[in-house]
Amino acid sequence: MEVLIIGGAGMIGRKLADRLVADGSVGGRKIDRLVLQDIVEPAAPAGAAFETRAIAGDFSKPGLSEQLVASRPDVIFHLAAIVSGEAEADFDKGYRINLDGTRLLLDAIRQVGGGYKPRLVFTSSIAVFGAPFPDAIGDEFHLTPLTSYGTQKAICELLLADYSRRGFVDGVGIRLPTICVRPGKPNKAASGFFSGIIREPLNGMEAILPVPKTVRHWHASPRAAIGFLLHAAGLDTAEMGPRRNLTMPGLSVTVAEQIEALRKVAGDAAVALIREEPDQTIRNIVDGWSRNFDPKRALALGFKADASFEEIIRIYQQDEMGK
């Protein structure tokens, strides 16, 4: 069967492609062909036992989605998105890529016809929720996003459910936790410090902590995220009914708990590299974010979170530092 990854050049897209190459199958079905799309040409994963193809193109340009679905891929992972900060800074671009692009894809799938109904795994985000929150956000809490990015994700969730209900596609939307430890260099995203305070010390570098250690947040490792995507691809959607969007399980931990896990894994010397430098702007942004969930449905459907924050740190060491 054929697998298509839209947004295949990003961090999650590359890790997913590598995993598909390693597994050779998804949802119990052998992969014959893997197509990767992104705005820049994605690197083809090495060592694939099946055909791979990379396509560069703008996902929000009419015609591209038609081209991508013409070969009738069986499983489509839709990871493409303008990130939160950029969608807030560039209103039109955010709506064009995150909303119109997704709708073009859904309509392209619908128009293939002949009974074509691929599994479409859509990555949504906990940004669909907006404060004030209960202590733990349950599966029936309403979506009141406080960013344009969250709004666009929430709209795509509604479209995914309706197109699935109408039988045009077999969709599963998964709301990813914040991915931690994110590999790579420090970045300026408001959430960057959650990864930075672990990643930089592990690499012998100083890290800045801009918020109090009491701040609580909702995390999943990149490996757990890939697990969510693969599980969603193989899920029996009859069990889901018409509610096609799920909050993924994660770990709710405070910054203090993150730091204690780092101490256990890498010792006091690593922890000493974290420098507190309060930043009220970042504090205010982070205070509006959801911090804990009660994702009963996803757990009942077999999605699995990381076991502990220590495990999250060890996954980074194993997957990114070769330890």
**Sites of contact with its own copies (CB under 8 A):** 91, 130, 139-146, 148, 151, 154-155, 158-159, 161-162, 165-166, 242-243
Q: What is the DSSP letter of 213?
A: T
Q: For the purposes of burial, counting CB atoms within 10 Å of the CB of 210, is it exposed (0-12), middle (13-18) or buried (19 or more)?
A: buried
Beta strands in 57-115 (DSSP E): 75-78
Looking at the Cβ atoms of 50 and 141, the one nearer to its own copies is 141
CA 242 to chain CA mean position, Å: 22
Smallest gap, in angstroms, from Cβ of residue 62 to its own copies?
Answer: 15
- Which residue lies nearer to its own copies by CB, 165 or 213? 165
CB of 160 to its own copies, least distance (A): 10
The answer to whether 57 and 29 are in contact (CB under 8 A) is: no
Cβ closest to its own copies, residue 241 vs residue 322: 241
- Pairwise CA distance, residues 162 & 301, whole Å: 21
Q: What token pair was written down for 212?
A: 């109090």
Least gap, CB of 25 to its own copies (angstroms): 32
Query: What's the DSSP call for residue 98?
Result: I
Q: Is 198 left (phi over 0), alpha (psi -120 to 50) or beta?
A: alpha
> Residue 155 or residue 202: which is nearer to its own copies going by CB?
155
Q: Which residues, listed in sequence order, are joined to residue 275 by a DSSP beta bridge?
A: 208
* Contact (Cβ atoms closer than 8 angstroms) between residue 34 and residue 14: no
Least gap, CB of 225 to its own copies (angstroms): 23
If the CB atoms of residues 131 and 307 are measured against its own copies, the closer one turns out to be 131
Residue 302's identity, in one-letter code, is G
- Output the smallest distance, CB 304 to its own copies, in A: 24
149 is catalytic: yes
Q: Which of 95, 116, 149, 163 is catalytic?
A: 149
C-alpha distance from residue 109 to each of 12, 102, 222 (Å): 23, 11, 28
Catalytic center residues: 149
